[in-house]
Amino acid sequence: MMTTDDLGTTGTRAPRPAGRPRSQEADLAILRAALDLLIEYGAAQTSIERVAKQAGVTRATVYRRYADKTALLVQALQWAHHDTDPDFTGWRDLDHMFGDWAAHLSDPRNRVLLRRVFGTVDDYPELIKAYREANGGRRAAVVREALSLARARGELPAHLDVDVVEEVLSGAVMGHLGSHPDDEGAEQIKDYFLAIMKQFGYRPATKL
């Protein structure tokens, strides 16, 4: 779990001036403001000036912590995932996995953030990289593990390529973000993923 003491260790901030203690309240206010503005306006319309105003600090306070807007937004994305459980090792089964995905995607704020981040691929590629490093790479490996276990249990065809299915599911997330309303409930979202998996021959084991 990231703490406020970790915020200066990622290499995305300007060096701390000697003799100026950093306020943890300012740290958190800046990160919250940056994340809120990214969600509300997108990366292009977020500025150091706007972040400073919303956080209730001066521009100089922000610039003492971050070299530029991109560095700030990268840190804000990393901070947004600071409560991810470091001990998470995977889901019990695919039903559990899709329930978890659906709960996350049923929150409109999460949906907007994902669209904002993936919409910056050309202008702010660092944000995509930060998101994938904070969440995507490790999570993709755990998804493949869940698919492999389902295949081993006979819930998926023995010949199925789990790497291909993982790629399809990643695309399905983006498809849902773009083509489904943000007020869709978790059960509907879960059914969306289960319908896709049925096309791959998914047949969940009968629970006793």
Walk along the chain (208 residues) and give the pLDDT tens digit of each residue: 333 333 333 334 444 444 344 688 999 999 999 999 999 999 999 999 999 999 999 999 999 999 999 999 999 988 887 655 656 777 999 999 999 999 999 999 999 999 999 899 899 998 888 877 766 567 788 899 999 999 999 999 999 999 999 999 999 999 999 999 999 999 999 999 999 999 999 999 876 5
List where CATH 1.10.357.10 sits in the chain.
4-76
The whole-number pLDDT of residue 133 equals: 76
The whole-number pLDDT of residue 135 equals: 67
Please tell me the pTM assigned to this model: 0.78
Q: In angstroms, rounded to a whole number, what is the distance separating the alpha carbons of residues 196 and 181?
A: 18
Find out if CATH 1.10.357.10 is the number for domain 4-76: yes
Q: What are 161-164's contacts with CB under 8 Å, separation 24+?
A: none
Nearest to 31 by CA among 64, 74, 68: 74
Per the listing, tokens 């993982």 go with 166
CB 117 within 8 A of CB 131: yes
